[in-house]
Structure 1
Amino acid sequence: MFTKAFRVKANTVIKGSDRRKLKADISAGFPSLSPKEVSELVPNKEELNVVKIYAHKGDAVTLYVLHKNPLFFEVDKRLYPTVYMLWRFPNVLPAFTTWPPVLQKFIGGADLMLPGVVVPSSGLPVVKQGDCCAVTVVSNRAPMAVGTAAVSSTEMCSAGMKGRGVFVLHTYMDHLWAFGDQSGPPNLSGDNQSETVNGEEYDVETEEALDENVEALEQFSGTADDQVMEQPCPGIEELSLVEHHQEKENECRCSEEAEVNQDEQKTPQELMDALLLQCFLHALKSKVKKSELPLLTSTFLRNHMFSCCPSGKQLDIKKSSYKKLSKFLQIMQQQHNLVRVKELSKGVESIVEVYWKNPELRSFCAPDDPDMEEAPVHLIGEGEKPYHPPEITTLYSVSARLEPLFLEANKRKGEILQPAEVRRVITEYVKKNELVDDNNKNYVIINPTLCDCLLDKSEYQEVEALKWDDLFSRTLGRMQECYQLVFPGQAPVKKKGHIEPIDITVASRGSNKKVTLIKNLEVYGLDPTVVSAALQYRVQASSVLQPVPGSKDKVLVQIQGNQVHQVGNLLLDHYEIPRKYIQGLDKAPKSGKKK
């Protein structure tokens, strides 16, 4: 889940009521923790932050951060501990043990396969399917990964320890770990430096030998992803590493030749069925985000499946055995249990749910096709200069009315200040003139200068003191608002007034045809030509550029249809423009309705 960088939506200090709820949730989810230990994780008098993030797949995740380290993350209203929390309380979750080289595969997004599980003499930990569990490595009890059990421990044994054991959600050295202080795991090896593995004694020297063998295998073969996951103990086989690799190469070569022969024997209809399934799985795994659902089936085909078609091949449903997209999706829903399709409005179907944990989808590996990856970059006109959103800061200019208040700090009318600098100037003025109320330090006594600068005429005889917060808010409210834009590698740009948001509107043209209009892109350093080309590629609709009436240097992007949802996705996810600087996202069409 955190193999790629995520986007932070909000970072706030937890409220008292939410703190109590979090304690109750931790106690209920992890009953082995004592009340004292729960209080250590959620202290009453220390700052605990709630961070809302979007993972790269679009999942909304809530982090609970203490002392800059995320201790818990919440997905779909379920609480999971991070490795930082488990390093403090390593016995909270049932733990599966694996070999140290497998840890590197977790970082790349792999799950824990049962052949890679080390079975101790005491047996596997007792878990049910879906239970939260940890993964440790031999010789150290400090958990290195967190996930959910793919099957129960009973089913693991009955399956002969084959197949997937744990769906890994978070691991040491992923982006969630990097969000903290990036400290390493503690050494919790204890007194017992060896344990029994499948009837043989395993110690630290054995581990070092295994690491050397795996490294040699990786250097020889180029990659050891599948071999490490499927073979828990390389080096104890009868074959040497070179013989083993040659055997694997021969198997792969025979497998590839067999696949080619099978493809030659298949009819064009069967080949199209296979291509259709491949593009479907590829689109679900790498293109669709949870935030896009519900997703029109026609949009899914046009924007996602077609873009996943390998170069040199053409996707045509009419040449498949399904003939229609609706029938194909029905099979994917009923027989494969990959998606749930629903008719949200008459005659219009949408994908309302994707079953991300489906084994067929999780095990699917997208084929390498460099041309397919480069095509979108070329089509949207990007690549010459990667775009980085500007850093936007609100500033305040000293007004004529407030000039007497700022003269002691040598700040004249028109001078632009940071909000923190304004607070510092006001605080120094109050202390220098001894205006803090002796009876209540939360109040500031109003002298003639403060009266003229901050009070209305009707308040002259009534208000004798103001709270600090009221004093600061009145000061900022009577200053002229400005803003500063800082683009990477460029000098800061300061302008007066409010920053104009990117404005998205929907208008009617001709016989009630809808068009989407986007303006003010230039304010944020976006090239309207590039944005227009990107949208045209995404929605497969015509777009044009028009001058903004009354403006010499601004251009309006017009694209056919109500494309507010796609415009929002492009600005928020791709260009990473903060939502507060985009207006009109609420004009997106309701799910299932025609655009």
Structure 2
Amino acid sequence: MFLKPFNAKANLHMKASEVKKFKSKIESIYSDLTKDDLTNLFTPKVIITVTKIITNSGENLNVYCFDKRPMFFENKNEIIPTIYTCWVACNIVPYFTTFDDVLPRLLNGADLMLPGVLKQGSGLKMYGNYEKGRIVAVNLVSNKFACAIGYLARSSEDLYMSGGHGPCVKVLNIFGDCLWNMEPSVALQIPSNTEEKISPQDENNEPPLQTQSDENPSCEVTPSSPIVLEENVNNSDEISLNDITSLEEVNQQNSTTEKTMDEILQEAFFIALKQKAKNLDLPILFSNFYRNGIIEAATKPINLKETTYKKLSNFLFEMSKKGYIGIKKDTKGVEKIISINYSHEDILNFILPSLCISNDKSDQGSNPLFTSEMQELYIISEETIPLFTKFNYNIGQRLTSTQIKKIVREYVSKNNLPYNDASKTNIKLDECLIKIVGKEIISVGELFRILISKMTRTHEMVEKTGVNTNKSPIQIQVASRMGNKKVTIISNLELNGIILSELEKICKQSAAASTTIIKSPKPKQNQLQIQGNQIKLVSKILTEQYKVPSGHIQCVDLKKKSKK
């Protein structure tokens, strides 16, 4: 339903009385919601807006956004939750489980077919006990969080009698569609799940169809993104909207005691080794490492004079004595870091603060996304960390299959692992790889397959680069009005999924000029008009905040040239 771009026509705020009525309506429709679920959804300070949209097929829908994030939409007088709602309130609808390879096909517009559904029951209860049209969620074998929302094409009884053929779920909203990316600034990646994988049960001893009310995953939201946040919520099976949007408040609550300047400096040093050092070329001067590594990684301002070391060189020499780094003194006053001991026990055991994880742009997609595609990733597990820590990666970080292959080849080459036969197909592993793989002799291809089998599989939406799009480019024009007054007119915004009312507010505040939405000569399209020549400002907002490629913006100056 939302695979193609839609037009947003209006954006209205709900009053407090309307919010109460809407909350009671949701509670009556979805009776499986607990009080905690409702509390997590309807937080005290949440701002709920109703956005009226027209889909590509011409349907008029209402989308209910909580702090700009679409949480419900109204289709044929029925209020349906989005995947964001299922991440917050896991009990809201029952779940059907499918294989990971099916997700890209669903994103291409296919419905979930019965052969791709895992049987989680026996007999007539093989597919639950639901009527035709029941709203359900779809999750994956490797991840219990919802990746799609839809309705049953047939009743559970008809699904059982169909012999395992035909459609099962008609997909309405899926991870990666235009509704998921309705407001790019708050779009989130699908949460990761490090729990035991869901597996089809033996037909002779199958439990009932899985629902999240029976077994809730411990919700864990991944960063994106500027759309990647990743925070483990301890001792809780639910996440609230505040957990998703405000990691700083959580960090402030967790920090019960103030750290000394020595502790802040040492923490920044470890963060720099974990996150920043892999982007720095060794050997590196002390001053450059401090400026580009420690200062950027520090959670609080650092004053070296307030530490017991007094000087940077004293601190780094102390770190060298402990075996964290190797240093070299070329001439007087010129010291360099020549090596980093990533296998040191203290570095391995150091846990990055959650705020640093959420701000690590190297592991996040550039969010908000403009032109995106689905990418398959693998999460580093405890079993595989002994290998990846040698390349400065941490548990929970996500890698593509290409990156994993590159790491495997580099490790084999760097450690000169010998070939076991004349054909040079099998290699003899060292102790590190033997502990992970459980074999001494293996081919590189099989080593790669065993590694990814021990890692959690997941998916993310990432930005496409250098890809042609069929969307009409955004046009920014400067025109003259009466009295030689200049106005800036922006066209084709709605065709590119940008909400005019939101952009109007941003431009009005940034330019400190009057803005208005005017009708376009083209049918069913509107334009944004700003007083004055605002080409540079609008281009900056579109490229930096909305991540629109600069090549997708056309700037035209239509002002009349003055006669000589």
In the superposition, the TM-score normalised over structure 2's length comes to 0.38
From the two aligned structures, give the one with the greater helix fraction.
1
Higher RCO (Cα < 8 Å, 6 or more apart): 2
In the superposition, the TM-score normalised over structure 1's length comes to 0.36
